[in-house]
Amino acid sequence: MSVYLVWSNHHHAYWGPNKSGYTTNWLTAGRYSQDDAAECCSRRTWEPRKPPPEVMILAPDAERDTFHIAELCAIPGQLQEAIRKATRTAIRERNTRQAVAADA
């Protein structure tokens, strides 16, 4: 089963465990199922011309239990790239939905 982190673009931090609080440390962030993470991402109103309030990304430890030191050191950068990609994807999907609605 895939496990996700929820990043808050609003708070610039990950959601904590049990949907409580925020942390900038991916190791102490909450782990969520795909459905729970998607629900977290739909809670806050997405304001026009702003990034989505939250995005979900696959947790680095979703499919692995151990890492080498070099791999651990690389994870924060990889997560930031995943957050940027998830944010861009959400914006693109929103723009597509709005264009389709406008054409209807």
Residues 53/44, Cβ–Cβ less than 8 Å: yes
Q: Model confidence over 2-43: pLDDT tens digits?
A: 899 999 999 999 999 999 999 999 999 999 999 999 999 998
Residue 62 confidence class, pLDDT cut points 50, 70, 90: confident
What pLDDT does 23 receive? 98
Residues 51/91, Cβ–Cβ less than 8 Å: yes
Q: Would the pTM of this model clear 0.85, i.e. be above it?
A: yes
What are the C-alpha distances in Å from 22 to residues 7, 13, 39, 92? 9, 6, 16, 26
Both tokens assigned to 33: 């199922």
What pLDDT does 96 receive? 87
